[in-house]
Structure 1
Amino acid sequence: MPHRLTPADMPDGLTVRIDRFRHDDVWLRTWTMWIAETEDLSPDERHDVVLIHGLGVSSAYFQRLALVLARFGTVRLLELPGFAGVPHPDHPLSTEDLGALVASWVRREGMSRVLLIGQSMGAQVVTEAAVQDPGIAAHVALIGPPVNSDERSVARQGWRLLQSAVFEPAAVRSMSIRGYVRCGWRWFAHTLPAMMRYPIEDRIGLLEVPVLVLRGGHDAVAPEVWTQMLAGRARRGSWAEVPGAAHSVVFDHARDVHAHLADLVQQ
């Protein structure tokens, strides 16, 4: 998780804790952060937050966003099985498997009015978690959700990711490369097919809570028409775009993303 932050970035009273969670021989790593002032929030003001990363990478790119979201309540960043040094399972996991794992963990933690946030593949995982266990989330945010149903091929999605990468900060490209190397090509290859075939456009309609679909203006992986269609299929969906951002909008436009999330939790 956070490795580029300096003491000046840290809010007063910040606490960070690292834990592991095991479920049916599959592991998650969690980074939990909170600030002292949120302890005084009333139940109506508090929104605990869960952030889930995309394919091949880690929660590192959420570091700036996590700090501003800590004003909502306790923030937890999850690192999924096989990524960021978390042990590789002995068998491939489907998106449904990952959703069940996350739902089990959220339920065990007993959080308050949870805002589930997923970026890229993480958007599929939080969708599935909230579909399987509708009571775990009060709000869901899908940021740069794949896979555009009109371009459901590995070659096309690889090209779209490269198109987006042109607009990404160098730090994001560097973090992504390190993440891919760390997870290894074999686990990446095991996970990619599940992401490619997951029908988020069908599953989103089963969500019962307010859903925000958010993209960066230069995100070729999650184009405007696709994300607007997803928002339209949600029962209580909304759509937003951050101009000038790309696929990793959560990293370099954290304040803009925070503003949209603040609007979401008022619904």
Structure 2
Amino acid sequence: MTTLACILEREFPICHLRLRGTLSLATVPQLRATGLKAFADQPDLVLIDVSGLEVEDDVTLTAFPALVHQGSADNVSVMLYGVRPALAVQLDRIVVARQVPTFETREQALAAHARWPAPTRAQIDLAPDRDATALARDLVDRCCERWGVRHVADDAALVVTELVANAVQHARTGSTVVVTLRERYLHVAVRDRSSRRPRRITADNELESGRGLLIVDGVATSWGVIDTVGGKVVWATLRLRRGR
């Protein structure tokens, strides 16, 4: 039986997906599921390492254009790198190479992505003090006004306030707030330098901190935590539609 290891490494704003094993009709669903999991974090780029991939049947390679199409809908770029000569021939044979950006090395892929038009983005570095939440709200307000999405400004300001407050009160480190406008979502991310993960409040710990996450849970379309080298990123998305 063929096996495929799909190793997802999140280094916001890029997700690395390393494939090891055999791509077959049996393992394609695993690739698709991992790709969708990567898109859920709303990265700028999903970089797929195919240097350790074997292909059982050419038709399974159509999974890559499908991921590119899905990524395009979410305003996430998808690239392949580590493409060996034999795989390049297979990709070309079924015209996949014309639909999926492919590169020999990771450095080439990153250089190409750097030349592409980036999503609308703004960021600010904050000290862990009482002014941090106000500065973060001001950034969000200005971005929503400039980008013409004023209707989500209040919710976005509420979300960023809670995420930054969590970084100040619990991580107790400086933080970086990144606000990104995508096709269908406003994405807010707060990176800090603590590995301590935020916790939702429950009946058993209702006296502990964590009420802010209940607010984020109720206001945001989705949210999550990505562990990074030397800390974490707590992110949230808000759908760009009027009314809730």
What TM-score results when the alignment is normalised by the length of structure 2?
0.27
Whichever of the two has the greater Rg, that structure is 2
- Which has the larger helix fraction? 1
- Which has the larger strand fraction? 2
What TM-score results when the alignment is normalised by the length of structure 1?
0.26
Q: Which has the higher contact order (CA 8 A, sep 6+)?
A: 1
